Amino acid sequence: MTGLATVDNRGDEVVPELPAMDDHEALDFAREARQAVLAQVARRVVGHDQVIDLLLTALFANGHALSIGVPGLAKTLLIGTLAETMQLRFGRVQFTPDLMPSDITGTEVLEEERATGHRSYRFIPGPIFTNILLADEINRTPPKTQAALLQAMQERRVSAGGNQHTLEDPFLVLATQNPIEQHGTYPLPEAQLDRFMLAIYFDYPSLDDELEIVRRTTGMDEAVIEPVLTRAQVMRIQALVRAVPVADHVLRYAVRLVRATRPEDAACPPALRPMLAYGASPRASQCLILGAKARAVLAGRTTISLEDVQALAVPTIAHRVVPSFRAEAEGMDGRKLVERLLAEVTASPTQD
């Protein structure tokens, strides 16, 4: 891949400068980064192309992602493999019913100096002090422990013993979640769901993909993943995403789409108002635009379009809306409501 880091004769990493935003080489770099990552992931994971693209969108938009699906669909494997393709610190926490908040954030221990007898507290960082944190089966632990992630996900820091501990950039939580109808699961609080930029659903593989999965995983060969991006390069692509301009009509369309999820707002279609208990917050509008920027950059484009916003509407907004009792009775979840919303709002994208 063009622009990958090299090593000089002293063994130090030499990271090439990312070209200026007005140079097409910058977008070529980002597009080639996506292709290189996909090629590595494909060595171990079969299918899930759209899911991988959504995870990369969240990564380069510097947002957290929640992967939802039944056990056995390679959610954990995919996230772990994705982390291997980048020279980033990776940590994994297996969420269980007895997991405590300090098991994630870290704890303070009392130490005594033998020479003087002086005692003091020392903070021992938890697994959250990493670049990519895999929060595996996040909804199998009670809300008290789930809430331990809230400050870290929003502010990129941890409070312990009256002190603030800043997390290193980039910091991303890539969580997996089993369907809440399954035994031993706890629904995530709305405040925590809102911290996830994208909610990504895993479907069962196709027949051909499942045949290939069984063929690969029951043989002798084990795929080896090679890192293709450094930490500095990941952060440079994230900066590139931020620099992408947004046309006013695209911005207005994204904001109006989010406002249309609020039943008390004039933008909400009358037919959907009885189906919505609560709508999405302005954080959804921010995530929608950032995600659209990342999608454009990964495709090698300099501007975002309405199509980018529409493609990310369901994974960005659906987990942030609360269906009414009527909607639940009619089998309408957040995804179906946003899909109906897209059909209503798309017809007049520039209307306020």
* Residue 144 belongs to domain with CATH number: 3.40.50.300
In a shared domain, residues 182 and 48? yes
User: Exposure pattern of 124-158 as b/e (b: 16+ CB <10 Å)?
Assistant: eebbbbbbbbbbbbbbbbeeebbebbeebbeeeeb
The predicted pLDDT at position 110 comes to: 80
Say yes or no: 196 and 345 in one domain: no
pLDDT of residue 181: 59
Which pLDDT tens digit goes with each residue over 149-169? 888 888 888 887 778 888 988
Rounded to an integer, the average pLDDT of 81-88 is 90
The pLDDT of residue 238 is 92
**Span 231-254, pLDDT tens digits:** 989 998 999 999 999 999 999 999
Q: What is the pLDDT of residue 27?
A: 83
269-291 pLDDT per residue, tens: 999 999 999 999 999 999 999 99
Residue 165: strand pairing partners: 158
| Whether residue 208 sits in one domain with residue 63 | yes
- 260 & 193 share domain: no
The pLDDT value recorded for residue 47 is 84
How close are the terminal C-alpha atoms of the chain, in Å? 44
Q: Does the CA dihedral 284-290-294-295 come out positive or negative?
A: positive
For residue 11, being part of any structural domain is answered with no
Question: What is the SS3 assignment for 166?
Answer: strand
Instruction: Pick the more confident residue, 222 or 171.
Output: 171
How large a percentage of the chain has pLDDT more than 90? 43
- 47 and 83 both lie in a single domain: yes
Q: Residue 80 sits in which domain range? A: 20-97+128-216+226-243
Q: Is 309 exposed, middle or buried (0-12, 13-18, 19+ CB in 10 A)?
A: buried
Q: pTM of the prediction?
A: 0.84
Nearest C-alpha neighbor of 228 from the set 48, 56, 47: 56
- The number of folded domains in the chain is 2
| Residues, the chain | 352
Same-domain pairing of 183 and 204: yes
Asked whether residue 230 is assigned to any structural domain, the reply reads yes
Give residue 180's pLDDT: 62
Tell me, yes or no, whether 255 and 314 share the same domain. yes
Confidence of residue 115 (pLDDT cuts 50, 70, 90): confident
- Residues 51 and 177 both lie in one domain: yes
Using alpha carbons only, what angle is made at residue 257 by residues 188 and 286, rounded to the nearest 5 degrees? 60
- Residues forming a β-bridge with 86: 229
| pLDDT, tens digit (0-9, with 9 covering 90-100), for 293-311 | 999 999 988 889 999 999 9
Do both 29 and 60 map to the same domain? yes
87 and 170 both lie in a single domain: yes
Is residue 22's pLDDT more than 80? no
In a domain, 285, yes or no: yes
Mean pLDDT of the chain: 85
Whether 109 is in a domain gets the answer no
pLDDT of residue 23: 52
Residue 7 lies in a domain: no
| Structural domain includes residue 71 | yes
Is 107 inside a domain boundary?
Answer: no
Domain-embedded: residue 145: yes
User: Rounded to an integer, what distance in angstroms lies between the CA atom of residue 259 and that of residue 110?
Assistant: 50
**Are residues 200 and 317 part of one domain?**
no
Q: Are residues 212 and 91 in the same domain?
A: yes
Domain CATH code at residue 306? 1.10.8.80
